[in-house]
A and B are shown apart, each in its own frame.
Chain A
């Protein structure tokens, strides 16, 4: 899925839970996993997806990695724009193809 990458990343309920926990402040994987009904490797996998979508970032802290949501909200902005462009480009596509149908019509 190339469209709505950020939204796809958040569509999974566990992943959303992980994201929302990070909204409360930076956390290492171990603490993030605590209380979640999934294994720690599964949480790491969710974090990987969130990171690829640009929604969270990580930094080393001693021997562990600490994850946090983007402090400047770029992930949110990106997610909004992504959704927005989907809408706009759909309208564009409809307009291009509508003209095609209603004018002289058939292609050779």
Chain B
């Protein structure tokens, strides 16, 4: 893949939920549109909902005010209530690219306490570099660093 010399580490997050895996899985998938931030969507029309179709090969998409469904990716692994793996096929400009594959892997593990441990991973980020869009995004995001870092400082209470 051309000059890319960096392979960014996968994004990993682990946290515990005060709920059983069944509920966690249900909310993550069937209830996806209920918690997904409405501020994050693709295309010109505001988001009205977001859907993960409950099967392997199912579509992952946003529903919009203009009535159009805009694809984000699809379901690679469907294993309720333990695991769902989604293909995130939005490129560095947040445009759907069927040839791009990054994977969002979410595992739900029952704990003795009745709670659920969530192991989240978004991997394959180096493949964003295969897209021409990445170069344009770099330019675009350059100016965004102050904002992003500002958010971070707020979040960490610095």
Tell me the residues in window 58-113 of chain B with beta carbons closer than 8 Å to chain A beta carbons: 92
Q: Is the CB of B19 within 8 A of A74?
A: no
Query: In angstroms, how far is the closest chain B Cβ from the Cβ of A85?
Result: 6
Considering residues B11, B37, B149, B153, which has the most beta carbons from chain A within 10 angstroms of its beta carbon? B11
Distance, CA A81 to CA B14, complexed state (A): 16
Q: Is the CB of B125 within 8 A of A92?
A: no
Distance, CA A84 to CA B23, complexed state (A): 23
Q: Is the CB of A74 within 8 A of B125?
A: yes
Q: Is A72 an interface residue (CB 8 A)?
A: yes
Tell me the residues in window 1-59 of chain B with beta carbons closer than 8 Å to chain A beta carbons: 3-9, 11-15, 17-19, 23-24, 27-28, 31, 34-37, 40
Query: In angstroms, how far is the closest chain A Cβ from the Cβ of B99?
Result: 17
Question: If the complex has contacts A2-B13, A100-B18, are A92 and B148 also in contact, measured as CB distance less than 8 A?
Answer: no
Q: Is the CB of A73 within 8 A of B134?
A: yes
Considering residues B37, B128, B152, which has the most beta carbons from chain A within 10 angstroms of its beta carbon? B152
Query: Is chain A's interface secondary structure helix, strand, loop, or mixed overall?
Result: helix
Q: Is the CB of A83 within 8 A of B148?
A: yes
How many residues belonging to A are interface residues under a CB distance threshold of 8 Å? 45
- Chain B residues, CB < 8 A from A77: 8, 92, 125, 128, 134, 137, 141
The contact of A95 among B6, B35, B141, B144, by CB within 8 Å, is: B35
Q: Is the CB of A81 within 8 A of B122?
A: yes
- Chain A residues, CB < 8 A from B14: 2
Among A27-35, A36-44, A52-60, the stretch that binds chain B is A52-60
Q: Is the CB of B27 within 8 A of A92?
A: yes
Distance, CA A92 to CA B40, complexed state (A): 14
Q: Is the CB of A11 within 8 A of B158?
A: yes
- Chain B residues, CB < 8 A from A59: 5
Tell me the residues in window 68-90 of chain A with beta carbons closer than 8 Å to chain B beta carbons: 70-89
Q: Is the CB of A73 within 8 A of B122?
A: no
Q: Report 10 cross-chain contacts, Cβ distance below 8 Å, ordered by A residue.
A: A54-B8, A74-B4, A79-B148, A83-B151, A83-B152, A85-B13, A88-B36, A91-B37, A95-B35, A99-B23
